[in-house]
Structure 1
Amino acid sequence: MNALQKLGRTPFGLIMPALAILLVVFGVPIVQLFLESLDAPAISITNYQAFLNQPANIRVLLQTVEISAIATAICLIIGYPTAYLIVAAPKRLRIVLIVLVVIPYLTSGLARTYSWIVILGDSGLINNLLLKVGLISSPLPIIYNRMAVYVGMVHIMLPMMILPLISVMMGIDKSLMAAARSMGARPGTAFWRVFFPLSMPGVRSGTLLVFVICLGFYITPAALGGLGDAMLSTFIASQVSAAFSFGSIAASSFILLAIAIALLSMFGLDLSGTQGRKPQSLKSSQIRLDLLNRLKRLLNKLATSYRARRWTAHLHKASSEGHWSKIAGVVLLVLVNFYLLFPELVVIIMSFSDKSFLEFPPSGFSLQWYRSFLSDPTWYGSAWTSVQIGVAVSILATLVGTLAAYGLSRVRSDLRTLLTMILLTPITIPIIVVGVATYLGLVNLGLLGSQTGVVLAHTLGAIGYVVVIVSATLANFDRRLERAAMSMRARPMQAFVRVTLPLIRPGIIGGALFAFIHSFDEVVVTSLVSGFAVSTLPLKMWQNIRHEIDPTVAAVASLLTLLPVLWLVILYATWWRSRAQSKDVAAVPAAG
């Protein structure tokens, strides 16, 4: 008992509960899944050969990579200038713009996918509008094709590209751009030579995050795409539901996982791009490099006088590009926010229709679809199940995630990086692979198709969100406060409860909310591990969307769309209260 108590006080002992859940539900099953793919104990690559020998499988695999790459490229092309404009905006406007990006990020992905079905469908908003205007005589085929898949995927992933870029760009010293301009550099030159290289960590992390998540997309391609737009995750999910050979399922999963791991290994370990570079060892390469450097120095000397004259000429000249660039920036921000927010507003407005079908704008106002939701036991029963599971996941993930984050803050940096990467694995690899491994883990535990099993499955990803948010809060925590408390004979636990916990409470509450949101929105893993015994609200919505477009889904999607506003209010209230308390604490020494 004493040994366990001592272990619980060590940093590794604090991390152990989170690692134990990860190991039992995901770690051991993923190893078992790999052995299944090799037909253990008779090790062979038969399952991989069978996959690669099927032209249809190769086509689906290449199609998965192609769709993911194009969606990622679109997100980067739109997200980079958007993030740049947000960072360059005044402080108050910047906060508003970030909130407008965060709201879609927190909104249910299934609800956002449904909104595009409503907009792009044959009787959807766009076709109805064009038919009324008289521009078309029959509905346009703008859904169930590749373009619709890109529209839906980019809508879901764009905030995930913008937010990492904003985080990196806000840390760039703006005086460097001003220094470049003062030395005669044009705005474009200063941007490409100074700002863009410094923003590359955000570009790399955002691109990797979006691409790897896109590899595991299942719901959006299945809902918006046609038969020729299936991705490998859809293929794997159909194999699981059909009780196909588990060796084939494992091989398909590990082929998808191998792509993600290869990319993370090449680009994810060093975002600065300096680690792992080998020095030039070829003499010819050194000679060419030396000649190029000498030529560059010569050209710089010849251009010095020209730069000096140009800087003097332009020093007091009004910029002709500023007005139009500002207009273009405003237009871009308006279009991006319209793209992110308008589909959700459409669903909210259409949910109040008084007709037996969805129309925009509604001809009359009615709450019939909300009453349908509240009077149908299958709907409100699924919602209550989701709430129960979400609360359980939030409590469990917040407890073990906070302990893990606190333990990680007390270990050396190299070990902290390794352990953090392990804890974040379920949210950094394709979700379909996590679902298959979790399916196998719950089979081992005898919890497949149970509510407890679903809670454990959701907790895997929720722990990662809690660890990230609480760790960010602890990064700004002054450890000297703990040491001061212990110097006054406070025990470590007392110092944590009385000093540390109140100061990191906003991070803990934020982590708990994100854990709940993650669980409440989860549908891919749930569809694999719930069986027919557990029906959550997202699972009920997905089944309804696939089989019948019931307008009740619009009411449910509206409620899920409004939830992020509630989360943001709670987070803001928590932050404001914490800020007021910190000001009071700071004022006590000043008063003394």
Structure 2
Amino acid sequence: MRNFRKVAGMPLMLSVPAFAILLVVFGIPLVQLLFTSFNAPNFSLAHYRAFVAESANVRILLQTVELSVVATTLCLAIGYPTAYLIAAASKGVRTALIVLVFIPWLTSGLVRTYAWVAILGDRGIVNTLLIDWKLITSPLPLVYNRFAVYIGMVHIMLPTMILPLVSSMMGVDRSLIAAARSMGATPWAAFWRVFFPLTVPGVRSGVLLVFVICLGFYITPAALGGLRDTMLSNLIAAQLANSVELAPVAAIAFLLLGVAVVALLLFGIDVSGTPGASQRRAGWRTRLQLAVMQGVVFGKLTEAYRARRWKAQLFQPGRAVRWVERASGFFFVALVMIYLQLPGLVVVAMSFSPGQLLQFPPPALSLRWYRAFFSDPAWTGALWTSLELAVMVTVLSTIVGTLAAFGLTRSSSRLRSILTLVILVPITLPGVVVGVVAYLCLLKLGLLGTMSGIVLAHSVGSICLVVVIVSATLAGFDRRLEQAAMSMRAGPMQTFTRVTIPLIRPGIIAGAVFAFIHSFDEVVVTSLINRFSIYTLPLKMYENISNEIDPTIAAVGSLLTLLPVLWLLALYPTWWKSKRIARQGTAQAPT
């Protein structure tokens, strides 16, 4: 009994509810799905062989990898210089640019996809302007092809690439660059030999996140692409909807999962957050990456020339940044920000159009489509269903995820790293695979097409997000404040509720916001598990985009575009107040 009480009193036990939900909804069904793909109990590779035997299936698999690789490469090519310029900007400009990156990142992916249909369509902004300027006589085929798919995928994933890169670059000591310059290195050499290797962890994280998420893209290829642009997730959704046999779907899902696992093994995951440990564990993989990217062979061939140049430039002051370079950087960042913000602005503008056809700019201002939205029971019912689901998921995920984050941060570093890696698995896999796993779980539990089933399925990803955000907040928490409260005879529960919770409240609120957004915007998992028996707002929007472009969706998109701005305005006062309380508490805490 004493040992049981000792184990029950461990902080790690607070993470049991989170792991229980993840195990029931994701872990066990994932193993069952693996056995199903191998035709258990008569284990065989029949379903995998059947998939490979169809040349069309192999083409879709290779096409999925190709689309993901190209989109990831484009995101890195655009995102790295953007992140570099953001990190090098002044504090005020940097904050404004990060907010501009955050806004589209928090905006519904469906809205952004719909916006590109409106921008690139035959009657869209681009074709209309080109025709008005007499540059073309008939609309260009800019949508329903591979070009439109890349435009949409890069637009959706670019913030996911930029944010980890900015975080990594902000942690680089700029004095190292100055030291390299003082030793005769050119700006390019200082960047390539000093700055870039220190940002490789951010590059690795961004590339891994973008590639894995792109593998599971479902809505964007279906809405912007043609029949030749089908991805594996579209094939999985089609077979799951039309077939009663789960084994072939399981085989396809695990082939897609296998591609994601290969990417995870190549790029690796660092959950420790310790730079020294990360460098020690980099091993041959990072050394090989750096060797290829830095051009070791070319460096050896030019070694003598570089030695003479180093002696000539030793201790020479670095040249000032020329106005041409500043103007070029400003122009590049401005183009990227326009690219990120344009779809949202277009949707907001078109939502005020009075005509049957959406126009940009609208010939007049009207609230016609907002009235149509709020007067249509189908739209308002879908809205209230999404709000109800999101609130339930947010409450469950915030409570369970906060307890899990608190328990994990109080455990040993090695155990914390392992358990954190386990709890992050659902958000490091393609979304369509998570949807198939959730489908199998709810099928076994008899919860397909029910509110309870959708809440459980949405909670898998939401709990992971809450754990990540609250854990990051707890990592910077000064535990001396808890010790000070206990020295004043406060009990553990009183210390937790009166000291810990108020100081980590911004992290909890941020986690709740992201959990709400994740549930409210979820469409892939929802479409797979509810059989269209419960219409959420994203499902209603996706059906509208797929079947007909109803101008009412512009009003819905406008409301969802403005939602992230409201979230940021709500989060800022809470964050500012918490920082002020933390500074006051740290100054008063005993040393």
Partner Cα distance (2:560, 2:553) in 1: 10
Counterpart of 2:281 in structure 1: which amino acid? Q
Partner Cα distance (2:117, 2:361) in 1: 16
Which residue does the alignment assign to 1:283?
none
SS in 2 for 1:360: coil
Question: Structure 1 pair 56/491, CA: closer, same or farther in 2 (3 Å)?
Answer: same
Counterpart of 2:38 in structure 1: which amino acid? L
Question: Structure 1 pair 46/587, CA: closer, same or farther in 2 (3 Å)?
Answer: closer
Partner Cα distance (2:2, 2:553) in 1: 55
Which residue does the alignment assign to 1:315?
317
Which residue does the alignment assign to 1:499?
499
Partner Cα distance (1:5, 1:485) in 2: 24
SS in 1 for 2:384: helix
Which residue does the alignment assign to 1:73?
73
Instruction: Indicate if the aligned counterparts of 1:18 and 1:400 stay in contact, CA closer than 8 A.
Output: yes
Which residue does the alignment assign to 1:431?
431
Partner Cα distance (2:129, 2:310) in 1: 56
Deviations 1:405-429 (A, max 9, x none): 0011011112111111111111110
Q: Is the counterpart of residue 467 in structure 1 residue 470 in structure 2?
A: no
Q: Is the counterpart of residue 117 in structure 1 residue 120 in structure 2?
A: no
- Unmatched 5+ residue regions in structure 1? 280-291
Q: Is the counterpart of residue 254 in structure 1 residue 254 in structure 2?
A: yes
Q: How well do the aligned residues superpose, as a CA RMSD in angstroms?
A: 2.3
SS in 1 for 2:504: helix
Question: Structure 1 pair 276/72, CA: closer, same or farther in 2 (3 Å)?
Answer: closer
Question: Structure 1 pair 241/588, CA: closer, same or farther in 2 (3 Å)?
Answer: same
Partner Cα distance (1:349, 1:340) in 2: 16
Instruction: Indicate if the aligned counterparts of 1:8 and 1:14 stay in contact, CA closer than 8 A.
Output: no
Structural mapping, 1:7-18, within 5 Å: 7-18=7-18
Give, in angstroms, the shift of residue 276 of structure 1.
Answer: 6.8
Deviations 1:292-347 (A, max 9, x none): 99x979967x96665333346x538x55x622211110011000000000111011
Give, in angstroms, the shift of residue 587 of structure 1.
Answer: 6.7
Partner Cα distance (1:390, 1:222) in 2: 25
Instruction: Indicate if the aligned counterparts of 1:146 and 1:226 stay in contact, CA closer than 8 A.
Output: yes
Question: How many corresponding residue pairs?
Answer: 573
Give, in angstroms, the shift of residue 512 of structure 1.
Answer: 0.3
Q: Which moved more, 1:367-376 or 1:476-485?
A: 476-485
Give, in angstroms, the shift of residue 262 of structure 1.
Answer: 1.6
Structural mapping, 1:263-278, within 5 Å: 263-269=263-269, 272=278, 275=281, 277=283
Deviations 1:74-128 (A, max 9, x none): 0000000000000000011000011000111100011000000000111111112
Partner Cα distance (1:406, 1:270) in 2: 20
Partner Cα distance (1:458, 1:307) in 2: 58
Q: Give the TM-score of the pair, scaled to structure 2.
A: 0.93
Partner Cα distance (1:52, 1:446) in 2: 33
Which residue does the alignment assign to 2:274?
none
Partner Cα distance (1:468, 1:585) in 2: 24
Give, in angstroms, the shift of residue 375 of structure 1.
Answer: 0.2
Partner Cα distance (2:301, 2:121) in 1: 61
Instruction: Indicate if the aligned counterparts of 1:36 and 1:247 stay in contact, CA closer than 8 A.
Output: yes
Q: Which moved more, 1:269-278 or 1:414-423?
A: 269-278
Question: Structure 1 pair 182/349, CA: closer, same or farther in 2 (3 Å)?
Answer: same
Instruction: Indicate if the aligned counterparts of 1:167 and 1:202 stay in contact, CA closer than 8 A.
Output: yes
Deviations 1:532-574 (A, max 9, x none): 3211000100001101100000000111100000000111011
Which residue does the alignment assign to 2:293?
none
Counterpart of 1:89 in structure 2: which amino acid? A
Deviations 1:118-169 (A, max 9, x none): 0011111111222222222211100000010000000000000000001110
- Unmatched 5+ residue regions in structure 2? 272-277, 286-295
Deviations 1:180-225 (A, max 9, x none): 1111111111100100011100111100110000000000000000
Structural mapping, 1:137-156, within 5 Å: 137-156=137-156
Give, in angstroms, the shift of residue 495 of structure 1.
Answer: 1.6
Partner Cα distance (1:337, 1:85) in 2: 12
Which residue does the alignment assign to 1:567?
567
Partner Cα distance (1:82, 1:261) in 2: 29
Which residue does the alignment assign to 2:183?
183
Structural mapping, 1:66-215, within 5 Å: 66-215=66-215
Counterpart of 1:50 in structure 2: which amino acid? A
Q: Is the counterpart of residue 555 in structure 1 residue 555 in structure 2?
A: yes
Instruction: Indicate if the aligned counterparts of 2:481 and 2:586 stay in contact, CA closer than 8 A.
Output: no
Partner Cα distance (1:548, 1:311) in 2: 67
Partner Cα distance (1:72, 1:473) in 2: 29
Q: Which moved more, 1:493-502 or 1:5-14?
A: 5-14
Give, in angstroms, the shift of residue 487 of structure 1.
Answer: 3.6
Partner Cα distance (2:208, 2:160) in 1: 10
Partner Cα distance (1:344, 1:351) in 2: 11
Give, in angstroms, the shift of residue 581 of structure 1.
Answer: 2.9
Deviations 1:32-57 (A, max 9, x none): 11111011111111011101111010
Give, in angstroms, the shift of residue 490 of structure 1.
Answer: 2.7
Instruction: Indicate if the aligned counterparts of 1:389 and 1:519 stay in contact, CA closer than 8 A.
Output: yes
Partner Cα distance (1:11, 1:323) in 2: 56
Give, in angstroms, the shift of residue 7 of structure 1.
Answer: 4.9
Counterpart of 2:179 in structure 1: which amino acid? A
Partner Cα distance (1:586, 1:16) in 2: 31
